[in-house]
Amino acid sequence: MSWEDGAEDRAESLRRIKESAAQARYDFKRGWKIYRRSLLAVIGLLMVISISVVSIFADDIAVEHPGRNLQDTRDVWHIDYEPRKAAPFSEECDTRYQKVSLTELRRWDANGTNALSPTRVADNNLFYYDILVVTEFIELQNRNGVTLASDLVTLESSNNSYFWISDELIENNSVTQIKLVYKFENDAMHHWWLPDGYDVCIFGTNDEGQDLFSKILYGSRVSLTIGFTVATLTVIIGTIIGSISGYFGGRVDEVIMRITDIFFAVPGLILALAFVAALQAVDNFTIPLALAFLAPIIALAFYARSNIIEVFMPGSEGTSFSKLNPLIILGIGSGVLLLIILFDAYRFWHGIFELRDTRFWRLLLSFLAIFIIAGLLTLDKRLIDNFTTDGFSNRALNVFDWKNPYRYLSFRTLVIFVASIALFSWSGNSENEIVIIDNFDRLWKIQIALVFTGWPGYARLIRGQVLYVKEMTFVEAARSVGAPSGRIMFRHILPNAWAPLLVAFTLDIGGTILSASGLSFIGLGAEPGAAEWGKLVSDGRAHFPQDYWLVLFPGLAIAYTTLGFNLLGDGLRDVVDPKNRR
């Protein structure tokens, strides 16, 4: 078969793609018509869009990076550290208290000091201070906060950054430290969307003098990332498990449903708590090398309609592992796992795959894996049937034969080969494990915990959908023409069962943001000082209820985002509701 022979097929598939695009456009228009009927849904959509835009442009809207601190009162002399909270809409944001140690001045024989910014770390990792331009000198205090005569300190008229301290103060040895209160020109703190002169910190500052507004803006990135990652992963896992359960039914279904029962029996948050605790000592997320080595081989073995079977079981034409009862596969798999875990076969197991931590061994192993995978692929009946010539060498050559319509298939195999070489030989540096997530920080842990606790809900949802769609005539038709289970599942059932999934996905983003912030609030989520909303609320708790804004605004941000996604999901529910399909 040559490339030209397939021209008709390709034209046909292009036509189908165009047709389905037109259908999608029509569906979208009709869906939007239903969606915009509900004012709440439109508001929800706007809320989601606004929070997404905010998270994308956080760098431009925020006035300071969450790691930096413009009002930090740590000063040059390292006397002590007195953070300052400012209330929302106060203009204190560009006022600064600066402590000056007179003893230090005396030692350096100086009688003046610059108005300086807090410490900053430059690109070369050195500390430095910006010299601030003072707009107004407010007052002078002694170290106990008592106001002194302000003429003891004068602002240099030619240089608005330099204070002259009078001889009277310098020579009075009983005064060791003074405090300067001044306003400075704070362009960095100015929001571009506020009129000139309104250099206010709109949400106030926290106990370290950091701008709360900026922190909340950056927090939206964390929350949205967690929401989307967790919801996506849960949907994938839940869909796979739920559709297996619904499609195969019987004992498989029974076992999976009992497992979800167990998950439902423990409140999600307590389960997530326990799981985060269990992950506490894990620094990076790795999988055992043995698993990575075996997984693709096992997967391919199940997937391939292999010639091996025909060799060993003549007469069983077209049998494959994938046609075996999934319960048997499940049983064998879990049996092996149980044996390994329960009877300390783990050590023995470990011994088999004990490898030296050298690249040579990794490479050797990867080539071994590739040979086995390639062998399985070569023996794959489906692929061989599609070629005029058998054999590995020809298949390899076909990859570079641009006239061959099946080259993409071969190309994919080649990509898998290369990827597995890369995975085996260059990833990670621990002895027997492959690193999946290098920096497995606490945010990752809560994400994994939420995925772990979230999938049963989806599994049940999808199971119900699959049970419903399974009975429809088109599925029966597909089965009667001999379509394999996988194809029926992914091509016929799931595309018709996605609608409630989309709604659940949207609602789940909101729910995840809520749970993640709850975990952070308890102290298991984000690292201390991180710009995460739940963490901000829990940081603000120490100053509650006097400085209520530290709790109010981050909480409002959580509520706003969650409400947005929930309203969006509610609107989508109306769109996908069969009652509205006319």
User: Which residues of the shown chain bind another protein in the complex (CB under 8 A)?
Assistant: 39-40, 258-259, 261-262, 264-271, 273-282, 341-344, 510, 514, 517-518, 521-524, 534, 537, 541, 544-546, 548, 551-552, 554-555, 558-559, 562-563, 566-567, 570
81 CB-contact burial (10 Å; exposed 0-12 / middle 13-18 / buried 19+) = exposed
572: left (phi over 0), alpha (psi -120 to 50) or beta: alpha
Minimum CB distance to another protein, residue 205 (Å): 18
**Contact call for residues 458 and 235 (beta carbons, < 8 A):** yes
What DSSP element (H or E) covers 229? helix 212-248
Minimum CB distance to another protein, residue 337 (Å): 12
Query: What contacts 108, CB < 8 A, 6 or more positions away?
Result: none
The residue among 378 and 506 lying less far from another protein, judged by its C-beta, is: 506
3-state secondary structure of 318: coil
3-state secondary structure of 489: helix
Question: What is residue 127's DSSP assignment?
Answer: E
Minimum CB distance to another protein, residue 254 (Å): 10
The residue among 31 and 555 lying less far from another protein, judged by its C-beta, is: 555
| Largest interatomic CA distance in the chain | 109
* Token duo for residue 540: 């603000």
The residue among 310 and 574 lying less far from another protein, judged by its C-beta, is: 574
Query: What contacts 190, CB < 8 A, 6 or more positions away?
Result: 63, 196, 199
The residue among 377 and 558 lying less far from another protein, judged by its C-beta, is: 558
The residue among 365 and 531 lying less far from another protein, judged by its C-beta, is: 531
Minimum CB distance to another protein, residue 261 (Å): 5
- Among 526, 508, 512, smallest CA distance to 569 is for 508
3-state secondary structure of 166: coil
The residue among 218 and 275 lying less far from another protein, judged by its C-beta, is: 275
To the nearest 10°, report the CA torsion of 195, 198, 199, 201: -110
* Token duo for residue 411: 């190309």
The residue among 264 and 417 lying less far from another protein, judged by its C-beta, is: 264
Minimum CB distance to another protein, residue 548 (Å): 5
The alpha helices in 389-441, defined as continuous H runs, are 392-399, 407-426
The residue among 250 and 486 lying less far from another protein, judged by its C-beta, is: 250
Minimum CB distance to another protein, residue 387 (Å): 48
314 CB-contact burial (10 Å; exposed 0-12 / middle 13-18 / buried 19+) = exposed
Minimum CB distance to another protein, residue 126 (Å): 37
The residue among 186 and 234 lying less far from another protein, judged by its C-beta, is: 234
Report d(CA 72, CA 87) in Å as an integer: 16
How much is the CA Rg of the chain, to the nearest whole Å?
Answer: 33
Report d(CA 337, CA 334) in Å as an integer: 5
Minimum CB distance to another protein, residue 466 (Å): 21
Instruction: Verify cis geometry, omega within 30 degrees of 0, for the bond prior to 495.
Output: no
Minimum CB distance to another protein, residue 344 (Å): 5
Looking up tokens 């099946």 gives 406
The residue among 28 and 346 lying less far from another protein, judged by its C-beta, is: 346
Report d(CA 144, CA 156) in Å as an integer: 26
Minimum CB distance to another protein, residue 31 (Å): 20
